[in-house]
Structure 1
Amino acid sequence: MIAAAVVPHPPVLVPRIAQGFAPDLDGLRAACGAAIDQLYAAEPDELLVVGAGPEQSTDIAATGDFHEYGLDLAVDGRWEPAGKTPMTLPFLIGAWLLRDRPGVPVRRAVMVDENGGLDAGSAGAAGRVAMLVLGDGSASRTLQAPGHLDERAEPYDASVARALATADTEALAALDPELSRQLHVAGLPAWRALAAAADASGVEYDAELLYEDAPYGVGYFVATWLAR
């Protein structure tokens, strides 16, 4: 793996879903765009789009839509092969974020479950592979958050931010799955997949945290890891 970008996947990243609240996340959208710019600047041969779902699979449909979120908007991830497993939210947002991006020679989707593992084939055993890793932090930062207020949420998110800011794969791998479930964390499977792929690559990374905040009581992070 030569590069990775970590971004969140809230539906409200799409301005037409956020509607009047769209300007609240302009900074987050800009950070996501900057992170993806760095992925493309690394000139990968292959881009893996990694997100959580109910199973481990690379048989992900290349097309999906936001009808469930009240918007008549279809997206095409343009990944190969185009499978049959419906896109979960991370892949819908991944396809939306990549909608105007030029094609990478190969773009693939990888769904990971709570085990968060990537086999050698999924992680890209050879060549210049980059990863777009989609996942949200805790959803329990405020009383109005989807998971309501939990005092453990802020320190949990702080630990994730530190790990992403320093490419600390051990810290990501050590995140407690049970605590993550209690805090309604959506990103753990994808973060653990990132940690596994980075460890398997055997290279060191320069990391940068581009965004860390909890609008609407949900922890969002944007980070880049670039091979030295």
Structure 2
Amino acid sequence: MLAAAAVCPCPPLLVPEVAAGAAPELDAARTACSDALSVLAAARPDRLVVIGPVQEAGRGAYPAGTPGSFRGFGVDLAVRLGRAGAETASGRDLPPSLAVGAWLLERAGWSDVPVEGLGVEESLAPGRCAEAGREIAARPGRIALLVMGDASACRTLKAPGYLDERAAPFDAEAGRALGAADIAALKALDAGLARELKAAGRAPWQVLAGAAQDAGLSGTLLYEDAPYGVGYVVAAWSQVY
């Protein structure tokens, strides 16, 4: 059963050491991510699954203890998914999105609950995303999700994907749906448009929608902005009592 979920962006710039002198520009986003993770902790889950967008080579499961780093971004900073002493059998390092998730968890001092990762291909069809989410939610015990992913990368002329007039409306609807825990709207996000707008969060968000189908969670939008021309959304979903 899905007990709670946190939605966070996954740019490596979220890590201050990577952002360097620009680090203060994302302080509000980091604070919002911390607030979202506190909602997960309050739900007292039995297991946490970190979901992030990946290229094809990074798809699949990442067991607790899988290492990652930000060396590819010029910083000698290592992270590990879940408990530092856990063994890993994956034979591969965390992809960037899950490495950022691991960094957020370490920053929050998350250590008491088993953690695992799932890399979801950015191109995964909506139906397959929902199916993956339902499979996660069907596991025994109380499950929490940390869902990593960015909105469009086409909000300004200097954005990675240049300016696309469709980006702002797409991000507005995605942000609204994530803030309202609107499962139907998340499932309806256009995968083709998301790909054109370089919105890597689309697939993980639709996994969340599948997992939350029968959970009865309510949502809260904690942050929404587009620094560097990329849409970042932070939201928390929790049970209604």
Q: 1:119 to 1:222 in 2, by over 3 A?
A: closer
1:74-93 pair list within 5 angstroms: 74-78=78-82, 82=88, 83-93=90-100
What per-residue deviation string (whole Å, max 9, x for no partner) do you get for residues 129-182 of structure 1? 100000000000000000000000000000001101111111111111111111
CA contact (8 A) 1:3 1:42 kept: yes
Cα deviation, residue 72, structure 1: 0.7
Q: 1:118 to 1:178 in 2, by over 3 A?
A: same
The TM-score with structure 1 as length reference comes to 0.93
CA contact (8 A) 1:50 1:132 kept: yes
Cα deviation, residue 120, structure 1: 5.3
Q: Which 4+ stretches in 1 moved above 4 angstroms? A: none
1:4-15 pair list within 5 angstroms: 4-15=5-16
CA contact (8 A) 2:4 2:145 kept: yes
Cα deviation, residue 104, structure 1: 3.3
State how far apart, in whole Å, the 1-side matches of 2:54 and 2:87 are.
Answer: 18
Q: Tell me which residue corresponds to 2:104.
A: 97
1:70 to 59, 70, 74: 74
> What is the Cα-based RMSD across aligned positions, in Å?
1.7
1:107 to 112, 115, 127: 115
Q: 1:70 to 1:124 in 2, by over 3 A?
A: farther
CA contact (8 A) 1:206 1:226 kept: yes
CA contact (8 A) 2:223 2:235 kept: yes
2:167 to 142, 149, 153: 153
The TM-score with structure 2 as length reference comes to 0.88
- The alignment status of 1:131 with 2:145, answered yes or no, reads yes
1:200-219 pair list within 5 angstroms: 202-219=214-231
Q: 1:178 to 1:119 in 2, by over 3 A?
A: closer
1:17 corresponds to which letter in structure 2?
V
2:42 corresponds to which letter in structure 1?
A
Q: Which runs of 5+ in 1 are unaligned?
A: none
Number of equivalences: 226
CA contact (8 A) 1:15 1:22 kept: yes
Q: Tell me which residue corresponds to 1:144.
A: 158
Q: Which runs of 5+ in 2 are unaligned?
A: none
CA contact (8 A) 2:133 2:207 kept: no
CA contact (8 A) 2:135 2:211 kept: no
Identity of aligned residues (%): 45
